[in-house]
Structure 1
Amino acid sequence: MNDTVSFGYEDVAPDEKTRRVGDVFASVAARYDLMNDAMSGGMHRLWKDRFVARVKPGKGESILDMAGGTGDIAFRMAKHGAAITVADINPAMLGVGMERAEKRGIDGLVWSEQNAETLDFADRSFDAYTIAFGIRNVTDIPKALREAHRVLKRGGRFFCLEFSTVTWPGFADVYDQYSHKLVPKLGKLLANDEDSYRYLIESIRRFPDMPTFERMIADAGFIRTRVEPIMGGLVAIHSGWKI
Structure 2
Amino acid sequence: MSDTVSFGYTDVTPSEKTARVGDVFRSVAARYDLMNDAMSGGMHRLWKDHFVRRVAPRPGEQILDMAGGTGDIAFRLAARGTRVTVADINAAMLEVGMQRATKRGINGLVWTEANAEVLAFPDRQFDAYTIAFGIRNVTDIPAALREARRVLKRGGRFFCLEFSTTTWPGFADVYDAYSHRLVPKLGKLLANDEASYRYLIESIRRFPDMPAFKAMIEEAGFVQVKAEPILGGLVAIHSGWKI
- In the superposition, the TM-score normalised over structure 2's length comes to 1.00
Deviation, structure 1 residue 124: 0.2
- The one-letter amino acid paired with 1:10 is T
CA deviations 1:63-88 (Å, max 9, x no partner) are 00000000000000000100000000
Q: What do residues 212-239 of structure 1 show as CA deviations (whole Å, max 9, x unaligned)?
A: 0000000000000000000010100000
What amino acid is aligned across from residue 180 of structure 2 in structure 1?
H
1:100 and 2:100 correspond: yes
SS of 1:38's equivalent in the other structure is helix
**Partner residue, 2:242:** 242
Instruction: Render the CA deviation track for 1:64-114: whole Å, top value 9, x for unaligned.
Output: 000000000000000010000000000000000000000000000000000
Residue 159 of structure 1: CA displacement? 0.0
Residue 172 of structure 2 corresponds to 172
1:109 maps to which residue? 109
The amino acid that maps onto 1:126 is F
Q: Could you tell me which residue of structure 2 aligns to residue 229 of structure 1?
A: 229
- Within a 5 Å distance, the mapping from 1:84-99 to structure 2 comes to 84-99=84-99
Aligned to 1:25: 25
After superposition, residues 1-243 of structure 1 pair within 5 angstroms as 1-243=1-243
1:175 to partner: Cα distance: 0.4
Supply the AA of the counterpart residue of 1:230: I
RMSD of aligned Cα (Å): 0.2
Structure 2: segments with no counterpart, 5+ residues: none
Whole-angstrom CA distance in 2 between matches of 1:175 and 1:80: 34
Q: Percent identity?
A: 81
SS of residue paired to 1:117: coil
Per-residue deviation, 1:184: 0.1
Measure, in 1, the Cα distance between the counterparts of 2:154 and 2:110: 22
Following the alignment from structure 2 to structure 1, what is the Cα–Cα distance between the partners of residues 121 and 78?
A: 20
**Which amino acid is 1:20 matched to?**
R
* 5+ residue gaps, structure 1: none
Pairs aligned (count): 243
Secondary structure at the counterpart of residue 16 of structure 1: helix
User: SS where residue 238 of structure 1 aligns?
Assistant: strand
Structure 2 counterpart of 1:224, which letter? Q
4+ residue runs over 6 A deviation: none
TM superposition shift of 1:46: 0.1
Question: What TM-score do you get using the length of structure 1 for normalisation?
Answer: 1.00
